[in-house]
Amino acid sequence: MLAQTPPMGWNSWNTFGWEISQDLIKETADIWQEVGLKDAGYEYLVIDDCWAEKKRDKNGRLVPDPHKFPDGMKAVADYVHSKGLKFGMYSCAGTMTCGGYPSSLEHEFEDAKTFAEWGVDFLKYDYCYKPHNIPGHILYKRMSMALRNCGREILFSACNWGNDNAHEWMRASGAHMYRSTGDIQDNWESIKRLALSQWNKECYSGPYCYNDIDMLVVGMHGKGNVALGGCNDEEYKTHFSLWCMMNSPLMIGCDIRNMSDKTREILTNKEVIALNQDPEGRQSYSMEQWNNPDVKIYIKPMSDGTYGIGFFNMGDAPGEGSLQFWDMGLPSSSGYGFLLRDLWDHEDIGVFAENYTCKLEPHHCKILRAKLVKVNV
Ligand code: GLA
């Protein structure tokens, strides 16, 4: 089964937009392992929109742009596979892709076959130019059926931006992940808006169909297609931690050929990624700091009996987060407390009974792993 845990990879859109080519894809594949992405669990290399010719060929098949991909898509897929990675592509459920290229409406089965022949392992499926009279769930089911019958295992990544209450029906349409938000931008306001828009939707995301809060902007620093302002490294840390705590797929959006050490450190933090990749895929539940609604607390039960705990200061003033273990169902009279480990500092910070409190600068977070231990009361 695909997508037992949230899919991880890289997508061309956030930085490169329509400026994609086989050289870019090959260079990205070449450096993947060296910069530690493979080891951290990233596996899907995905080409987004703007890869095709504006017209299908005389047999109705999609054709890659010969200037961008002169050797064709099979050659690109083979190259990506030769690096031990999986290869992803993009199409759309409407009459055209968002960028105005041919899309798969009424071509679902032949396109799925073409993707299978090229060696595609992942399909992102967008929602632009959707006919008004066909419900979205029919369009996603149709492509899902086509992919299930194309002779190759292809992960289906739906992208309808959460329209039409997608969270209620996407799992039943057969998608392995589904975009629940509009497009991310490389700035703090966008990260905050997207994350908070998913408040109380925890139950709609889990193994085999994860809620995709959009591709990461970590490390873009104001450069590229969706770069509108940029963020500082602490904000990128908070962004990455939110996506991990909320079980979002982790699709990198920066130029991995030119990452700073800090970007690399964020994207490959194995202790934080482990929260996202827990095999049980259980969602975090969330609560608000009682005296400061800007401070959000997420708690994620892990399969080994520990918990991921995230404190997030979404506001613009310094704040404090305080978690009463009572709110996790653990009264101090139980004689138990938690051994806490800081997953960004990579160190145990001690045993706490009853509660844990931390100070948080604006837009900062604290991410902990908590292990139940006996304490003296
Ligand atoms: C939509 C999607 C983006 C990207 C573009 C491509 O806006 O939400 O993620 O795929 O289309 O045109």
Residues 303-332 have pLDDT tens digits of 999 999 999 999 999 999 999 999 999 999
- Best mutation site among 16, 96, 98 for ligand 1, i.e. most ligand atoms within 8 A of its Cβ? 98
Any residues with CB less than 8 A from the CB of 143 and at least 6 apart, and which? Answer: 91, 93, 104, 108, 112, 123, 125, 156
pTM above 0.85, yes or no: yes
Any residues with CB less than 8 A from the CB of 53 and at least 6 apart, and which? Answer: 62, 63, 64, 65, 66, 101, 102
User: CA-to-CA distance for 136 and 138, rounded, in angstroms?
Assistant: 5
Torsion (CA) 111, 115, 118, 124 in degrees, nearest 10:
140
Residues 70-114 have pLDDT tens digits of 999 999 999 999 999 999 999 999 999 999 999 999 999 999 999
- Best mutation site among 12, 15, 129, 159 for ligand 1, i.e. most ligand atoms within 8 A of its Cβ? 159
Distance 161 CA to ligand 1 centre (A): 9
Q: Which pLDDT belongs to residue 83?
A: 98
pLDDT of residue 377 exceeding 70: no
Q: Position 318: which residue type?
A: P
Distance 125 CA to ligand 1 centre (A): 9
Give the nearest ligand 1 atom to 183 CA. Answer: 8
Query: What positions carry a catalytic annotation?
Result: 126, 183
Distance 370 CA to ligand 1 centre (A): 38
User: Where are the extended beta strands (E) located within the chain?
Assistant: 8-11, 44-46, 86-92, 122-126, 155-159, 177-179, 210-212, 250-252, 285-289, 292-301, 307-313, 319-324, 336-342, 347-352, 355-360, 365-374
pLDDT of residue 376 exceeding 90: no
Q: Which pLDDT belongs to residue 164?
A: 96
Residues 56-70 have pLDDT tens digits of 999 999 999 999 999
Q: Which residues line ligand 1 (CB under 6 A)?
A: 13, 48-49, 97-99, 126, 159, 161, 183
Q: Position 240: which residue type?
A: F
Q: Which pLDDT belongs to residue 360?
A: 98
User: Where are the extended beta strands (E) located within 111-197?
Assistant: 122-126, 155-159, 177-179
Q: Which pLDDT belongs to residue 355?
A: 97
Q: In the predicted model, what is the mean pLDDT of residues 186-194?
A: 98
Residues 210-251 have pLDDT tens digits of 999 999 999 999 999 999 999 999 999 999 999 999 999 999
Eight-state DSSP code of residue 344: T
pLDDT, the chain, mean: 97
Calculate what percentage of the chain has a pLDDT beyond 90: 98
Distance 350 CA to ligand 1 centre (A): 45
Residue ID of nearest Cα to ligand 1 atom 1: 98
Q: Which pLDDT belongs to residue 115?
A: 98
Eight-state DSSP code of residue 206: B
11 or 377, greater pLDDT: 11
pLDDT of residue 364 exceeding 90: yes
- Best mutation site among 183, 213, 214, 226 for ligand 1, i.e. most ligand atoms within 8 A of its Cβ? 183
